[in-house]
Amino acid sequence: MKDLLCDEFQEVVGQGLVRHKSILDVTTKIQESSARVNRAVMKSVTSCGCIKIRAEKTQIPPDLSLEQLRDYMNTHVEGTLCESCQETIEAEVGSLMFYLVAMLNTFDLNFYDILIKEHKRLSTLGIYKLS
């Protein structure tokens, strides 16, 4: 299948990846980028304070249906990201996407095709795809 935006992004990644083209570099950069996303989220809490994390064990009533569970569960996030934190997280997620697509390029896999397959899998399984 084709999607102009996804295909163009994948092509730009292919053209832009020069130094870290080895699969060894790409996979470690994915791990590093993922850690940077996590760090940016934590800095939104600890340095900026625009959001708070209030986590505790969720008490799930035994008579709750699977459909009701979605609305019952909590993200544990209070507040809203400020513009600065949002920009930082978006930039870090962008880097993570870059290296994920670089890995796809290494294996000659199409980003859009994977999105479509995952969409179909999620649509078919719905809430029963609990991971």
Q: Which of the 8 DSSP states describes residue 59? A: -
Q: What is the pLDDT of residue 130?
A: 54
Q: What is the pLDDT of residue 128?
A: 63
Q: What is the pLDDT of residue 84?
A: 98
User: How many structural domains does the chain have?
Assistant: 1
Q: What is the pLDDT of residue 25?
A: 94
Q: What is the pLDDT of residue 64?
A: 85
Nearest Cα residue to 26 out of 39, 42, 14, 37 = 14
Q: What is the pLDDT of residue 1?
A: 58
Range of the domain at 118: 4-128
Cβ atoms 86, 1 nearer than 8 A: no
Low-confidence ranges of the chain (pLDDT < 70): 1-2, 127-131
What's 61's domain CATH number?
1.10.287
- Give the ranges where 44-82 is alpha helix by DSSP (H): 66-72
